[in-house]
Structure 1
């Protein structure tokens, strides 16, 4: 893996299985590989590169179980990041307004429920934990 390119799923599994031997949190990813809405850290990494306040929880055999971040609440920093990402047009002004008129510091995360079931149940393939499997030509709703 390359620091400025992030971890692929096989890297995530290897870290949790072989390097750590269990669940592990990876934090403070490089700014260059993460979305504009993640909060810029006040400190740099050991390489001097800017990082964002985010995390991934990696588990053996499955890789990422949970991913989350603190959201950028500082309007000046958010505007600069949006401009750098090519999102500076008027169609995104509503997003800036969320911070301009009283945004509070906050964060969020997402967890793969099927991955959690697979990990707790000791199931190697997450596809065996999908409650409503679907494929081309078949979808139950």
Structure 2
């Protein structure tokens, strides 16, 4: 079984193939747009309605999972080079149309905030799917560049007691009861009874650890999540982001 991204790059052939994916749209009981996550583009499968039971056609709804078998031919319509002339359609998992209308899988534009609120579905939208594909390509390019230039990747701690030269406000980590924390003789929170026996935070930077690695390995870099507890809801501030830090 081939992925859709491979099929869309293939030439028309008389070889029978099967593709599995989710239905993006089903028009005129004839044209099924299928996506399997391998590309942002859909594969169009064309069926002859009279060759299929009405009960089956009613199950081919947006967001349902299907397996379509057919022959890849040159597309007669615009927008795609090839399409699948379907001879068999199997609904692997149905999707209630009324429930789909309440989700971001419904075929209409949604606000980014709406996409964020449905985390389990958002990556199946074009917007988040494109973002994740670009992010994966950029991550690969970062590692490829540093590897080809003689750098070693250092995995620096995410949980740390260091503030990295005061790089930003930090998120505190603790297993103590916030409503009734243990106190020391001076009335301050006694972190000796905490998990790490001292104040701990999410890292704002791997700089200090990377510097020590560089003194032993020459050229190193970090690429991982960092956190800033800065209450600024703007496009220039994020509570969590990934940062590249080379040290030589």
TM-score (norm 1): 0.33
TM-score (norm 2): 0.22
- The one of the two structures with greater contact order (alpha-carbon pairs below 8 A, sep at least 6) is 1
From the two aligned structures, give the one with the greater helix fraction. Answer: 1
Q: Which has the larger radius of gyration?
A: 2
